[in-house]
Amino acid sequence: MRPVAQLASARSRRPPRKSLSRERFERIYNTIRDRICLLDYPPYARLAEEEFAQEFGVSRTPIRSVLSRLEAEGLLQSRHGVGTFVTDVDIEALAQVFQLRMELAVLLGKLDPLPRTPADVARVRALVARCDALAEAPDPRAFARLNMDFFQELSAMTGNQPLREISERLYYQTTRIWLRSVPRLNLRDEIVVFRREMADILAAMEVGDLEAIGYIRRSHISMSFNRMRLYPGQKPL
């Protein structure tokens, strides 16, 4: 277990409380981003500022800021005079992104990692239980949601802010590829493999071995990438 002083130091490095406007921005951003990543908004779908403004009860100004951020992150594309559209995803085009994600994963437990509290570990344990339930009744969208929730738990332990920001950006650029690959993958097998990763990371969290988490994560990103590339006519990395 980590000393109390170290846990207190880790808490002191957590970001300060956000303003109400910033919380609103993040809420809208997270909602639209998740809808894109879960294919609620499929590639080439047109997104309208006025519809979002009405849905979230805000002016078009914060909506425009959210869409601009999503465009900068590669999830949207704006066409002058036409509109804003969801981008498509292609595993070969994003091969270098996956490679970078693998290398950055190792840094997860090296650059100012935040020690996990009992509450943090309990949340991950609950995610493992969700995975067990999902194995009994596999559902692609529920599995994708679980994967995103698990990633957020890993992101929360990243004390190095630049590393956290780029890791999140790269993750959300690639996460849609898996969901679009489901028809060609064995969903039950994917759940079993993911459950193994979660269990290994949970065990490392429980003993405070944060550096091991990065290596576990790198290994599973690599395996996932190669499984998705093993379609007819494609070669593994």
pLDDT in tens, 175-219: 998 888 877 778 899 999 999 999 999 999 999 999 999 999 999
Flag whether pLDDT at 67 surpasses 70: yes
Q: For residues 225 and 237, is the Cβ–Cβ distance under 8 A?
A: yes
Q: Where, residue-wise, is CATH 1.10.10.10 in the chain? A: 18-86
The per-residue pLDDT for 4 is 47
The predicted model gives 25-41 an average pLDDT of 96
Q: Is residue 94 very low, low, confident or very high in pLDDT (cuts 50, 70, 90)?
A: confident
The per-residue pLDDT for 17 is 63
Owner of token pair 């935040």: 114
Give CA–CA dist 108/217, Å, rounded: 9
Q: For residues 237 and 99, is the Cβ–Cβ distance under 8 A?
A: yes
Flag whether pLDDT at 141 surpasses 60: yes
Q: Where, residue-wise, is CATH 1.20.120.530 in the chain? A: 95-229
The CATH number of the structural domain formed by 18-86 is 1.10.10.10
Higher pLDDT residue, 88 or 4? 88
Give CA–CA dist 153/171, Å, rounded: 13
The per-residue pLDDT for 13 is 54
Q: Is the pTM of this model over 0.75?
A: yes
Q: What are the E-state strand segments in 48-189?
A: 76-79, 83-86
The per-residue pLDDT for 38 is 94
CATH of the domain spanning 95-229, picked from 3.55.30.10, 3.40.1360.10, 1.20.120.530, 1.10.10.920: 1.20.120.530
The per-residue pLDDT for 16 is 57
The per-residue pLDDT for 235 is 42
**Average pLDDT for the chain:** 89
Give CA–CA dist 130/3, Å, rounded: 30
Which residues, at least 6 apart from 90, have a Cβ–Cβ distance to it below 8 Å?
A: 177
22 residue type, one letter: R
In terms of C-beta density within 10 A (0-12 exposed, 13-18 middle, 19 or more buried), how is residue 81 classed?
exposed
